[in-house]
Amino acid sequence: MRWPQQLRMRALMLFRRHATARLDQEFQFHLEQQIAENLAAGMEPAEARSAALRLFGNPTLLREEAQSSWSWNSLDKVWRDLRYGARTLRRSPGFATLAVTVMALGIGATTSLFTIVRSVLLNPLPFAEPEKLVMVYEHFRDTANPGRTPYNVVAAGDFYDWREKTNGFQDMAAWRPWGCSIAGDHEETPESVPAAAGSWNLLAVLGVQPAYGRAFAAEEDRPGARPVVLLTWSLFQRRFGGNPSIVGQQVHLDTIPYTVIGVLPKWFTYPDQTVELWVPYSDHFPVGEAPPHDNHQSYVIARLKPGITAQAATQEVSALQYRIHYGESGSAGCGRCTFASDDQRRGR
């Protein structure tokens, strides 16, 4: 039998009753053809039928062999196992419920764990050349207390000095947690949202372009500058219906009118998915005062220059940090600096 006919018969065997009837018809047709040939050769009817049956062999055995070659044995076994399992579970409903619950919890936990491992450990950061990105922290000189972490977040004054007076990094940006209440110009219900304040060059350091509008400009990241805001995609969709015309309009953050200058891409969830909007880093810094060196609340992210290692770049920052705070107590966290690579930030 040619392969198209075999495939056709395999398909028919999925519907066993129809296929069995068709198989019986095939046997009967060939048997009658052989009987006719025997009669034409001069045999008696009874002799012709007996000779045809001897030539074909046992019909039952032939039927079983044909069904075995045309059927889907693996599917048949799976179907038999499923029917057996279903009958077993029906006889013990309590055990069935417990088994299904345990399996569901196990599959759910495994899926969640794999998703976390994949996003945290396997997938690279969705930024341009993420291998060149590092986070720079202050490092306590006094490490006598084993219960205290040696790393400290950065003061704004230190960040500005690092960026201006060192050359090991291609560029350096900072952000700090923020929060506010948002409302529109049309008496919408105010909403408290988590936010962040990022330096004007943060998106450039990360290699990110807004989906709509533009990023912060340098003149907007100064105390007393015109208030501007970047919306995350989630807030853009949830509160403003995904309407791009919101760019250029005003929203009120803590009753202060801010101009929306852009919307961040859908995939951008840095530092995490809870952040709903971004304002300039210097927002709410006192006008006319130098950024403080004692208010440690900022996270610094830097991009390495080509051919410069993270160790070499942070050594220069450490030397500057020591000069800035020389003579102060070690608890000021100012002895030297350290870096966290992409892998370290993600827990590898």
| Backbone CA torsion sign across 67, 70, 75, 78 | positive
In this structure, the number of other CB atoms found within 10 A of the CB of residue 26 comes to 13
pLDDT along the chain (348 residues), means of 10: 59 56 74 84 84 76 64 68 81 82 87 67 68 85 62 90 92 94 77 94 95 96 94 94 94 94 94 94 86 88 91 88 65 50 40
pLDDT of residue 345: 42
pLDDT of residue 342: 45
Query: 162 near 300, Cβ under 8 Å?
Result: yes
Question: How many angstroms from the chain centroid is the CA of residue 154?
Answer: 29
Q: What region does 276 belong to: left with phi over 0, alpha with psi -120 to 50, or beta? A: alpha
At 52, which amino acid appears? Answer: A
Task: Using DSSP, state whether 241 is helix, strand or coil.
Answer: coil
Query: 223 near 255, Cβ under 8 Å?
Result: no
Nearest to 278 by CA among 262, 300, 266, 292: 262
Rounded Cα distance between 257 and 297, Å, is 25
Q: In what helix (H) or strand (E) does residue 296 lie, and over which residues does it extend?
A: strand 296-304
